[in-house]
């Protein structure tokens, strides 16, 4: 058996075990969204894990990390697509002689052709009224033709790549727990309604909660039994509350 325990909670399937053992047994999914250990501190839980990125059954990978993590980690065949900057309301002060770090990155990698991927850019209702003349763009930026368009106050505009979301400081149940608000845009962008997401480093289950709230199915893997139980509870609570966001 490749896992120690398996729980099915509504549209979520959770595995207790090492993701490198479990990933090869899973079906193809729309996207992998995960937050692996960065391996940049001496803390016991922050031990770099290698090899998992070669096993994920998807053409889309969103991975949280620091710049130091991405510079040190070998993503092999994966191609870089874009990155999101998560701006936190508080930051880290590990070094007295450096800038206060108030951000983390979420980087999108892909395989196959860019055109074949699902892409639905989230919008925010904060456009300002103006008329814009847009020049033509070359094919590598999407082949946009010259045109003009008008926006209205309060109308939709593409979500910015720098996203502010309050961290989970004060209520987190995992040392690196991510807020649902920073995971949700990645799900909306890369996964169609009813689609399937895998998180190989599930932690306390934030990706699973975000999947439920946005009508996606979820498979989570966690090695630590304590955090696995927390993830089960959080996802079960989210499904019991029935909060769905269109």
For the stretch 185-241, pLDDT in tens is 999 999 999 999 999 999 999 999 999 999 999 999 999 999 999 999 999 999 998
Task: Determine, yes or no, domain membership for 109.
Answer: yes
Higher-confidence position of 16 and 159: 16
> Same structural domain for residues 110 and 81?
yes
Quote the pLDDT of residue 134.
59
Same domain, 151 and 218: no
For residue 212, CA distances in Å to 17, 154, 168, 181, 246 come to 22, 28, 19, 13, 11
Whole-model pTM?
A: 0.85
Domain limits at 16?
Answer: 5-122+159-241
Q: What are phi and psi of 75, to 5 degrees?
A: -95, 10
171 and 110 share one domain: yes
Report the DSSP beta bridge partners of residue 157. Answer: 124
Position 205 scores a pLDDT of: 96
Q: How many CB atoms lie within 10 A of CB 8?
A: 8
- Compute CA 229 distance to the chain's CA centroid, rounded to the nearest angstrom: 21
Can you tell me the mean pLDDT for 63-71?
93
CATH of residue 226's domain is 3.40.50.150
109 and 227 in a single domain? The answer is yes
Question: Does the residue 18 lie in any domain?
Answer: yes
Give a yes or no: residue 246 inside a domain. Answer: no
Task: Tell me the pLDDT band of 21, cut-offs 50, 70 and 90.
Answer: very high
Domains identified in the chain, total number: 2
Residues 88 and 136 in one domain: no
In tens, the pLDDT along 114-131 reads: 999 999 998 888 766 666
Residues 207 and 64: their CA atoms lie apart, in Å, by 12
CA atoms within 13 A on the CB side of 175: 12
Sign of the torsion formed by the C-alpha atoms of 203, 207, 211 and 213: positive
* Cβ atoms within 10 Å of 87's Cβ, excluding its own: 16
Asked whether residue 210 is domain-assigned, the answer is yes
Mean pLDDT value of segment 39-58: 84
């Amino acid at each position: 058996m490749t896992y120690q325990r398996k729980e099915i909670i509504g549209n979520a399937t959770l595995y207790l075990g090492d993701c490198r053992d479990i990933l090869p047994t899973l079906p193809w999914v729309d996207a992998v969204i995960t937050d692996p250990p960065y391996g940049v501190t001496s803390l016991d839980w922050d031990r770099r894990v290698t090899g998992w990125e070669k096993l994920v059954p998807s053409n889309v990978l969103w991975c949280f990390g620091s710049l130091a993590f991405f510079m040190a980690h070998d993503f092999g065949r994966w191609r870089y697509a874009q990155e999101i900057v998560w701006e936190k309301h508080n930051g880290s002060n590990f070094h007295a002689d450096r800038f206060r770090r108030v951000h983390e990155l979420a980087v999108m990698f892909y395989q196959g052709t860019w055109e074949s991927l699902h892409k639905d850019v989230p919008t925010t209702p904060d456009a300002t009224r103006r008329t814009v003349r847009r020049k033509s763009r070359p094919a590598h930026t999407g082949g946009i033709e010259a045109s003009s368009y008008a926006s209205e106050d309060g109308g939709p505009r593409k979500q910015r790549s720098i996203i502010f979301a309050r961290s989970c400081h004060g209520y987190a149940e995992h040392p690196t727990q991510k807020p649902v608000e920073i995971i949700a845009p990645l799900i909306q962008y890369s996964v169609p309604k009813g689609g399937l997401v895998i998180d190989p480093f599930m932690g306390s289950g934030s990706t699973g909660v975000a999947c439920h709230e946005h009508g996606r199915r979820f498979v989570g893997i966690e090695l630590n039994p304590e955090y696995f139980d927390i993830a089960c509870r959080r996802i079960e609570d989210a499904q019991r509350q029935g909060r769905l966001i269109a």
